[in-house]
Structures are given as structure tokens and as C-alpha cells.
Structure 1
């Protein structure tokens, strides 16, 4: 049998894999292999992402800033609709914990200011908050909603238009390298490529093990969320996202309702993760004590996976053990925000063995993203 030899096979069709394939396919023959029946099933499809420069590690914040031009002005024909919409973010502390907001306030910049807000103004902005549970409030007006589904589908459509093939329902079960070619075996087919892009999300270390690559120490963490009705007469369109610094919980308007998460990060093996019933019950009790939101019923509950390495920075670059195996993993809870910039970085590393000029101008070097820092 004569195989098509792809320039790149991307394993994983979430936002990391789709964006990487989009950038690579402009000049190469690319195949995306997805284990599930649909793209973005585990993390991307369960994300209600916001865009802000003021979130994550210092490196993540730099990468977020490099993604912003793409979100504000995507390439021609990439999408018919804006990728960002105004939201704003209100962060509050409980009485006695006011100092916990100092670190966030220090992230304020002239371009992305974070301001102090008195408690009365915060209550006027979000009427279902309890005045006796707010010790201090700060507000960042520049935070926006990311239209995650539109972003993912635009990347997939764009990479298909550039000639990329996408196969689904094909978990990778074996990887073998011989004579400068990788053979990728799934439960259904066999494919060949010059270079593998490991964008398998929480399963990236498992894919790495199949290749005999270095193990990056990826840890998948469960994040739980529920959807509840907003209080009567609550204008969800005008609400900001509300972050509770005391326990990292947050509330975000979502399609006329409220999405609420405890901000949990429970280590868990990679899987089709489901919400823990006890976590949901504890969250519902917390909502009723901390807010005036009536919990008459929970419309929907779910959980997603967020995957991190030890320093909580993304891993992008060539493996140090096996040849032509490129990591694109460990984006944690920042993957949607970083996707446009990281995809460009990955393509530059693959084609030119260096980072794009704007990365270098921001003081980011290849080893900041590569796996050598983890050895």
C-alpha cells in the first residue's frame, strides 16, 4: 500500500490543534486526527473563555497580549462575526480579606486599567451580591467574552479551506518512527507524516509515551460549572463577570442565565470528566450564602479538563528525545486566549526554528516555551 506522506499530522482537534493546523497548512500538507466524534469535545467545547491581558503567569500574560491583535482584527474571510464582545470583570473580596486584591490591582496598566470600586457601586452593578459579604471591589472594564465556538469553527473551516484533512473517532494507538517518517496508527487506519504535532490536550503525555518522547509531567485538573436562572429582573447582558478572590469562584452571564464555577482544580486522570455531585451541592450552598441568587433548579452541570505542567506555562517546541515530534500542550486555563499567538509560534518553530518577531520583541525566547526547562 502506498501512503500519502503528510508534512504534519496534528493529534487533537481542540483549539490548540485547530489553530496549529491553520497556521501550518498555509504552506504544508496537514492532517488532523481527533479521538472523539467531534472537535473540541473535552476542554475547548466546555470553556466559557474571557480575554484579558491581566491573567496567568507573566509569560502567559505576554502571550495573551500577542493574541489580542488577532482577536480584534482576524484575517480576511476568517469569520463573519466579531470574536470578542464587551463584558468587564468585577473582582471582590470578603470582609477581612481585602489585601487579597492587591496582587490583581498591581497588574493594572495604562492600556488595561484595573480600578478600585466602592462597595455601593459594585452592588449597583451586580444587584444579587450581598453587601455584607463584600469587603473590597476592583473592576477591569477591558475584559471581553471570547466567542469560543465561533473561534474553533473558524479555525477548522480555515484550515480545511487550505487543504487540511480532518478525521474523527480515531484514537491514536501506536506511533513509530523509521527512515525519517512517523507512522501513526489509529483504531481504524494508518497514516504517515514527516512531523507529529502533539496537541492532544490532557492526553498529551500519553501520546508522548507512544512516541517514546520526554514526559512533560502534565497534570489534568477538573473544573466544575453549573447553569442557573438569573434572579428576576436581572439584566444578564449588562452584567460583568464576577470573580471571588477568597475562593476563586466566579459567576459569568451565559445566554440569559448564569454560569457559576467554584474555580476548582482537582487533579484527575485524563478522561471524559463529569461533575462531582458533592462539588455541585457545595457550590449551590455557597451561592445561597454569598449571593441573593435563588437556586430553584440547576439547568445544567458539567466539568472540563485544564492541563498544566509544573510552572503553569505552555509547552511548545521539539522533543529532546525523539526526532520531528513537536509539543503543543500544557495551556492550562489560558488556552483559548493564547491560541492565536501560540499557533504562530509553533509554525515559526517548525518552519524557521525560531519564534516570530513579536515574541522576540516581547522578550520571549524558544527555551521559555520548550521542554528543556522541564528537564
Structure 2
């Protein structure tokens, strides 16, 4: 069988695009791992904060809000807080402006998060415009829509070879050989590797490790209504998670594509920055892990046909914005491949196009 669309990558990017493309033609998603959303998508902080990122990312995130709101239960209230020391005024001011936050007193911050340390926290700001994304529900909804429209998913299908096949592509994988008219590269940290296999010029993506630790609720408190908390300049963050707290050093450590793991020293340093700003020490870890956030050279997503090989389509460089941009990004994929008008601005589409790299 020749598929209209072969998608390499079964994370949020590939699955959301597949669900949008399935009504337009036959779709096959190839996922290297045993389970979908195994790598970055399965290790996301899963926050919808549409003002987070560079201007094109923000525009794409804002364009995704209506789709999220149309899915009952997909978003739930979380909120956002920034805390800073007295010598972090410059970072705090940038965060205040960038996130659109309102400065509050330390006492007000402590009323919301009682473990904030008044001896070290000198500046605080809050906002309500941040929501948790039910990532499992979102992934499953895309799979359900894809299969309802006749689309297919193969797991344990690591791609081992790609060749041009007339007007299309011949792809070898752990699940066998497949032929497709358009190849969509949604392989996360492996996108440049996939391009090389297809003899398409790679664009210079960089995977960056981000480590996380899950710790017990500080002081045994109910953290369920706490906001997501950032140290100024995104020097660390903490987010409630099923009665516990996820704490990350928020590092960006460049490394090759792989199944990443947390670096113990980096994790310890990040936990120390968190502990400095709260009154409760970290006494033990419940778990730790890491994921790779993959960025293009300009840190903006890449969505569009390759200029030199038009039936090779880039859907890459989601960085830390994959979930929150996914509805608008997937709609754009379908609009571009379906050759129909997009609701996004021409300027935004150009800023996402791989053609910007020459």
C-alpha cells in the first residue's frame, strides 16, 4: 500500500498532525518505541501558558487556545508564580513583562504557597493565565480520531532506512517496509538523523536535556491548588503533580538524541536553588527522570515543506512548547499539505517555514 502521509514520530507533534491529516488521505505513524509519546512528550511539564516563548511561539500557542477550550476537561486551572531574591531584580523584571504577571507582596505569595521563605524571597508575582494540560487524554483523543478516519499507528517501528521511491518514499523500519507519497519528519530529537537518512539537508537542531525530580509534598501540605512556581530567570521550577511536587533545575544541556536520564549533580544543584526559596527541605526523592527539548537554531518551531525536497515535510523543533502549540501546529500541517488557506497569519507561517534557513 502507498500511504498519502508517512509520519515518523509518535509524540504529540506526529499524532496531532496525523489526526488532522487522516480526513485528507491515508496516514501511517511510525513510532520507534514500544509506546507512543515515550520521549519528550511523555516527560513534559504539561502546562499551557501561551505567553511563554518567542513571538512566533506565543502566536502559535494563542492560536491553539480555542481548540483546547473545545475539548472538555483538557485544561484545568493551575496559575503561575515567579519568586526572586533581592539581587535578581533584572531577571524578575524580564519575567514580569514576558509572562504578563502582576507583582504581589511576599505575604500574598505565602498565602497561596505557605512554604515560600520570607527570609530569601524578596520579590513575587502571580497570574491565573496558566493551565494544566491533560496530556494522556490529549494523546488518546488524537489516536482515537486518527483511527476513526482510517489512519494507522505502528510501534516498535524504528526507522532504519529511507530512499526516494519515484514520486514518494520507501521507508524501512522495525515494523517492515512502507511506501508513502509525503514523508513528515516529526522525530523529535532525531529529526536531523531522519533528514540525513532521506538525503535531505539537516537544519541544525539541538536536543537539550532537562532533568526533573518528584518529591513528597513539602511539609505534608495539600499542594493541589498551588500554582506552578518559577525561580527568576527560569533558574528552577516546581509544579504540583498528583499530590507530590515536580522540581526541575530547568537546565539546557546540549546532547545527542538518546533516551535521556537525569544528571545527579545538576539535579542536586537545582534542588538546592529550590530549597533556598522555601522553608521545607527536600528529604527524599520519589523519582527522577529527564527529557530532551529539541530546538532549531533560532528556537522557533519548523513547520513546512523542505525547500529542496517538497515531499519531505518538517514538523520539528517544538522545544518546550510541543503540547501547548500542538492544536494550531497540527492544523497548519493539514492546511499546508491540503493546499488550503490557513487561519494563521502569513508572517507567522513564514517564520515557521524551513525556507528561513536558506
Q: TM-score range by the shorter chain?
A: over 0.9
Q: Structure 1, unaligned stretches of length 5 or more?
A: 75-80
Trace 1:211-360 onto structure 2 (pairs within 5 A): 211-246=198-233, 248-352=235-339, 356-357=342-343, 359-360=344-345
Question: Relative to structure 1, is the Cα distance of residues 324 and 247 closer, same or farther in structure 2, using a 3 angstrom cutoff?
Answer: closer
Trace 1:130-149 onto structure 2 (pairs within 5 A): 130-149=117-136
Question: Given that residues 63 and 338 in structure 1 are in contact (C-alpha distance below 8 angstroms), is that contact kept between their aligned partners in structure 2?
Answer: yes
Question: Given that residues 29 and 152 in structure 2 are in contact (C-alpha distance below 8 angstroms), is that contact kept between their aligned partners in structure 1?
Answer: yes
Question: Given that residues 24 and 30 in structure 1 are in contact (C-alpha distance below 8 angstroms), is that contact kept between their aligned partners in structure 2?
Answer: yes
Trace 1:161-240 onto structure 2 (pairs within 5 A): 161-240=148-227
RMSD: 1.5
Question: Given that residues 101 and 245 in structure 1 are in contact (C-alpha distance below 8 angstroms), is that contact kept between their aligned partners in structure 2?
Answer: yes
Cα deviation code 1:4-54 (max 9, x no counterpart) = 000001110100000000000012110001111010100001112111221
Residue aligning to 1:114? 101
Residue aligning to 2:115? 128
Residue aligning to 1:12? 9
1:158 to 145, 152, 155: 145
Residue aligning to 1:367? 350
Comparing 169-178 and 84-93, the one that deviates more: 169-178
**Residues 1:28 and 2:25 aligned together:** yes
> Alignment partner of 2:10: what SS?
coil
Cα deviation code 1:75-121 (max 9, x no counterpart) = xxxxxx5110001001111112223222233346xxxx521111111
CA distance in 1, matches of 2:47, 2:277: 23
> Alignment partner of 1:70: what SS?
helix
Question: Relative to structure 1, is the Cα distance of residues 278 and 106 closer, same or farther in structure 2, using a 3 angstrom cutoff?
Answer: closer
> Alignment partner of 1:321: what SS?
coil
CA distance in 2, matches of 1:32, 1:144: 29
Residue aligning to 2:37? 40
**How many aligned residue pairs are there?**
358
CA distance in 1, matches of 2:197, 2:294: 19
Residue aligning to 1:103? 94
CA distance in 2, matches of 1:53, 1:345: 17
- 1:253 Cα deviation after fit: 0.4
CA distance in 1, matches of 2:274, 2:165: 56
Question: Given that residues 212 and 321 in structure 1 are in contact (C-alpha distance below 8 angstroms), is that contact kept between their aligned partners in structure 2?
Answer: no
CA distance in 1, matches of 2:175, 2:217: 46
> Alignment partner of 1:26: what SS?
helix
CA distance in 1, matches of 2:267, 2:97: 33
Question: Given that residues 48 and 148 in structure 1 are in contact (C-alpha distance below 8 angstroms), is that contact kept between their aligned partners in structure 2?
Answer: no
- 1:365 Cα deviation after fit: 4.2
Question: Given that residues 202 and 306 in structure 1 are in contact (C-alpha distance below 8 angstroms), is that contact kept between their aligned partners in structure 2?
Answer: yes
2:75 to 75, 84, 87: 84
If the length of structure 2 is used for normalisation, what is the TM-score? 0.96
2:46 to 20, 25, 49: 49
- 1:355 Cα deviation after fit: 5.4
CA distance in 1, matches of 2:98, 2:352: 22
Q: Structure 2, unaligned stretches of length 5 or more?
A: none
CA distance in 2, matches of 1:323, 1:66: 26
- 1:320 Cα deviation after fit: 1.9
